[in-house]
Structure 1
């Protein structure tokens, strides 16, 4: 993919080097109603800054869509005050939905929107997806915002790549997450190899299989980064995030633990381990 400049309103510029960032998925349980005192997005940003991280991807965070312009500007102000750049993540490619998130990206100063093809009620064909992206991408290009389609089990990686190649725009690429594709029996290494030329963003989470009780099947779930099946060194060698200025966003697949306190403790522990791991590379 060729490098492209960003609009003057965006805080983060392509060519400024790869960043390690946190996703709202790194605070999945703490942001949820499952805990007795959910944290706010502002608090998640503050904790991100406390960890020495200057990039945060607000990904699949449902309350964002209902926020007023003033509330979104408050999020931007908090991020600015903490020296944190923002990215966005959503699901779906309906034109009106993409344009809604382009507006949100403009308010937040986010130069990248991660999305996925399918949502309930809309599973676009490759031809429809190509038509949608060709329709909306001139507006994204004018705003300096790229779209990164995530690899995941609901849509074969080859089909996603077919769409991206057909559109042929540097403003449309891949958000790489090989953990997702295992559920479709796609090999992580094969997915990494296939998407490498088109990657704009990386989701970093480890994963593992464990035997279920009685040895009747397996559970496929998250693992602390560096302890599971993700071959990070292979992935980094293929995708070259530092050389290609691709941001690496930390996520988790952490199952709920025996208690709220243990879940929060483990979530924070996994985040710190992920940061330590990535900073050591």
Structure 2
């Protein structure tokens, strides 16, 4: 049985921001505009980015506003999930519970985050901690976080976020052993840690709760011999080295959340042109990617 027809498409907020001439500055106005555009573009899920209002009344308002347009929302998980077994475990638990409370206010059953922070110390390449110990520490913290998410009935999805290979994250999720702690599969981020994203999906599909769908192309990079002569740059879905149709097929077959799976579009380090504002380029890229994704799901 295929679940492709049930999968929900959408995007993360930063890839589709309001045109500057609209003059939208307040976080609530920006997120409402993005929800409206989600509906207009045929999407049924949205991941708010920054800024997003986080006071209780605003979160409840956004829940109802998105619900009126049949848009499901995801929300960010507190970073304290990665210190839930540490010396400040009590404070971490309180932060996790507060994050879940806010997630429920906005109507999100999936909270998501990434461990990697674009710094070498939060990657497999850190010189401060061996990879094996790094993974064990992550698993131990997430085991404690899992207890809270299980009690609350909310899912926590962790992105392969420029930190570890898909195989390494699969080891972590297997060690945690909870259906409430899994992967926010990014289909292109493997390139950031020098592994093949097409292999990542094979090992992470069974742990996937939600996604970031992106394509990237490995292109020549003329560094005059000083750097690696290739770069991975973001492109429109179907134009890069990530096999998007195969990725969707694998998720359809192996993902425990395939029925209604969130396919959240993100762009990855695109090759921008200099003479067009990036927000305009991002909106154009996003619309092209959504057309591709919607057509793919019909096949």
State if a TM-score over 0.5 links the two structures: yes
Deviation sequence 1:53-100 (CA, Å, 0-9, x none): 121122xx3434x62111222222321222211112357334434333
Does residue 168 of the first structure (1) align with residue 177 of the second (2)? yes
Residue 196 of structure 1: how far off its partner (Å): 2.2
| TM, length-normalised to structure 1 | 0.79
Specify whether residues 204 and 215 from structure 1 end up closer, same or farther in structure 2 by C-alpha distance, changes over 3 A only: farther
Alpha-carbon separation, structure 1, partners of 2:221 and 2:145: 46
SS of the residue corresponding to residue 74 of structure 2 reads strand
Does residue 195 of the first structure (1) align with residue 204 of the second (2)? yes
Q: CA RMSD in A?
A: 3.2
SS of the residue corresponding to residue 240 of structure 1 reads helix
Which residue is 2:154 aligned to?
Answer: 145
Which residue is 1:222 aligned to?
Answer: 234
Which residue is 1:53 aligned to?
Answer: 43
Specify whether residues 69 and 91 from structure 1 end up closer, same or farther in structure 2 by C-alpha distance, changes over 3 A only: closer
Alpha-carbon separation, structure 1, partners of 2:78 and 2:115: 7
Residue 237 of structure 1: how far off its partner (Å): 2.2
Does residue 244 of the first structure (1) align with residue 274 of the second (2)? no
Alpha-carbon separation, structure 1, partners of 2:271 and 2:19: 13
Which residue is 1:265 aligned to?
Answer: 280
Does residue 19 of the first structure (1) align with residue 28 of the second (2)? no
**5+ residue gaps in structure 2?**
85-91, 123-132
Moved more, 90-99 or 150-159: 90-99
The answer to whether the Cα contact below 8 Å between 1:106 and 1:143 also exists between their aligned partners in 2 is: no
Residue 158 of structure 1: how far off its partner (Å): 3.0
Specify whether residues 32 and 269 from structure 1 end up closer, same or farther in structure 2 by C-alpha distance, changes over 3 A only: closer
